[in-house]
């Protein structure tokens, strides 16, 4: 019996042959933290260890509340900058770079075959580039800074075979929402999810990032796309170092294999208050809302802004709603400036925020009042996530959110084809 990608990467790190279910102690290639670095520094200090073990493995991106919205956040950022200087951490990205997952990927840290840990649940994103990447908590991040080691259970793998081509105005967000809706929020708990099949090869890297990012919403430890020529050419000029492409054996032992035909998928909407409460747009269209969000680490890349701009070109958003646009990073922002998408969106009445997490986790920039409803391209719609516990969030693709913004109620984007 062959091995899965996850068994191979963790086995190589543990220097032995491993099978799903085994526990290994390994040393990561990179460890990502963000604004939570302030709290992680506090934990690290408790250990009374003077220096981090491998400063060059630490990547810190300030993105969750940027620029600081209060004195408390400002102090956190200041503490982090001082720690970065004190410890000589070379990979530090201050408030102007963008969302950690996009910044991490576009700066070439997310590489095939690498083992990446991040103190953020959406660390699963880097599987889009063929890395093994999993989320951890604060204590563990402090512990990895100090010891360069962590225990991990080798996950069983669910393989998702994708065939067919998307209909117009249907995208990666719709298929991942459909999968989560069908399979449930805990389907991949403790497991790896491998996105495969002919249709996986057709997906852009941005689309792969959407799906690997949202693998976290099925509970996955990591998501994965086998690197191909698209991956290698995307990485050209960005990589931080050498890498080895690692792929599952053809006779690998999968826990389950699921099949999806992209041609049959219609736009999907995750309804309040769980990501697996998914319905086709036809069943929820007409639902009124107050705020729309196009952006975040899930859908804030140029291909997302392009589709939104295409739908809104020459039109105005509905006067009853407000629309926030948040490019995922400064690079995506610049490209959207150069290509004109931002001009189109601002002309339509959208408000463009600086690259960052924005209101996604309810900390600042567009908090919801009691009774308010949002539709967002983000990855989570839990009760109270974007503000009041009496607010509600729908999740959808950039196309669906853009179409909805024009109509002031949830709308099917296919009519804007």
Partner 1 sequence: MSKGKVWKYGDDVNTDVIFPGKYTYSVLDPAEMAKHALEDLDPEFAHKVKPGDIVVAGKNFGCGSSREQAATCLKFAGVQAVIAKSFARIFFRNAINQGLPVVQCSEAVDNVESGEKISIDFAAGQIKGEKGIFTFAPLPEFILRILDSGGLIPYIKKKKIEREKNLGDKNA
Report which of 312, 295, 291 is spatially closest to residue 303, judged by C-alpha positions: 295
Would you count residue 297 as binding partner 1 (CB under 8 A)? no
CB of 31 to partner 1, least distance (A): 13
CA distance 369 to 337: 31
- CB neighbourhood size of 337 (10 A): 13
Residues 347-376 that bind partner 1 (CB under 8 A): 361-363, 367
CA distance 93 to 326: 18
Check: CB of residue 269 under 8 Å from CB of residue 168: no
Nearer to partner 1, 189 or 264 (CB): 189
Piece in contact with partner 1 (CB under 8 A), picked from 136-144, 156-164, 250-258, 394-402: 136-144
Report which of 189, 207, 180, 165 is spatially closest to residue 269, judged by C-alpha positions: 180
Site string for partner 1, 380-399 (x = CB under 8 A): x-xxxx-x-x----------
Residues 6+ apart with CB under 8 A from 146: 44, 47, 49, 52, 53
Residues 5-24 that bind partner 1 (CB under 8 A): 23
Which of 13, 91, 178, 221 forms a contact with partner 1 (CB under 8 A)?
221
Tell how strand 30-33 and strand 115-118 pair up. Answer: parallel
> How many degrees, rounded to 5, is the angle at CA 208 between CA 409 and CA 362?
50
CB of 222 to partner 1, least distance (A): 10
CB of 81 to partner 1, least distance (A): 15
Would you count residue 189 as binding partner 1 (CB under 8 A)? yes
Piece in contact with partner 1 (CB under 8 A), picked from 104-112, 117-125, 234-242, 282-290: 117-125
Which of 38, 129, 336, 402 forms a contact with partner 1 (CB under 8 A)?
38
CA distance 410 to 403: 8
CB of 56 to partner 1, least distance (A): 21
Would you count residue 151 as binding partner 1 (CB under 8 A)? yes
Nearer to partner 1, 204 or 274 (CB): 274
* Helix then strand then coil, % of the chain, to nearest 5: 40, 20, 40
Give the position of tokens 């459909």.
178
**Where do contacts with partner 1 occur on this chain (CB under 8 A)?**
23, 35-36, 38-39, 42-43, 46-49, 64-65, 70, 72-73, 76, 119-121, 123, 135-140, 142-143, 146-147, 151, 185-186, 189-190, 219, 221, 274, 276, 361-363, 367, 380, 382-385, 387, 389
């Amino acid at each position: 019996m062959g091995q899965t990608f996850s068994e191979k990467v963790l086995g190589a790190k543990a220097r032995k042959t491993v099978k799903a279910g085994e526990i290994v102690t390994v040393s990561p290639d990179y460890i990502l933290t963000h604004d939570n670095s302030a709290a992680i520094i506090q934990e690290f200090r408790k250990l009374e260890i003077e220096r981090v073990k491998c400063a060059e493995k630490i990547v810190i991106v300030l993105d969750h509340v940027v620029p600081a919205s209060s004195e408390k956040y400002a102090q956190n950022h200041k503490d982090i900058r001082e720690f970065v200087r004190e410890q000589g951490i070379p990979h530090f990205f201050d408030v102007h770079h963008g969302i950690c997952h996009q910044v991490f990927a576009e700066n070439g840290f997310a590489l095939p075959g690498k083992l990446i840990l991040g103190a953020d649940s959406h660390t699963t994103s880097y599987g889009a580039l063929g890395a093994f990447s999993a989320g951890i908590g604060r204590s563990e991040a402090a512990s990895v800074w100090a010891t360069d080691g962590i225990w991990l259970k080798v996950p069983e793998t669910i393989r998702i075979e994708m065939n067919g081509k998307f209909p117009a105005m249907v995208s990666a967000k719709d298929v991942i929402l459909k999968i989560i809706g069908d399979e449930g929020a805990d389907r991949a708990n403790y497991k790896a999810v491998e996105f495969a099949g002919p249709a996986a090869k057709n997906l852009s890297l941005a689309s792969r990032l959407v799906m690997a990012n949202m693998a976290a919403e099925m509970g996955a430890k990591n998501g994965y796309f086998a690197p191909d020529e698209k991956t290698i050419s995307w990485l050209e000029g960005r990589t931080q170092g050498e890498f080895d492409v690692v792929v599952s054996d053809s006779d690998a032992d999968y826990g389950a294999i699921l099949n999806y035909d992209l041609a049959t998928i219609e736009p999907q909407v995750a309804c309040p208050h769980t990501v697996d409460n998914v319905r086709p747009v036809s069943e929820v269209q007409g639902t009124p809302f107050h705020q729309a969000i196009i952006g975040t680490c899930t859908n804030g890349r140029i291909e997302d802004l392009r589709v939104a701009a295409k739908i809104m070109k020459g039109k105005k958003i509905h006067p009853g709603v407000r629309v926030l646009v948040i490019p995922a990073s400064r690079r995506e922002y610049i490209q959207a400036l150069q290509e004109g998408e931002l001009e189109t969106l601002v002309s339509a009445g959208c408000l463009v925020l600086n690259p960052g997490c924005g209101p996604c986790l309810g900390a600042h920039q567009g908090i919801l009042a009691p009774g308010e409803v949002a539709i967002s391209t983000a990855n989570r719609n839990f009760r109270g996530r974007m503000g009041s516990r009496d607010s509600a969030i729908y999740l959808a693709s950039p196309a669906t959110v853009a179409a909805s913004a024009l109509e002031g109620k949830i709308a099917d984007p296919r009519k804007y084809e």
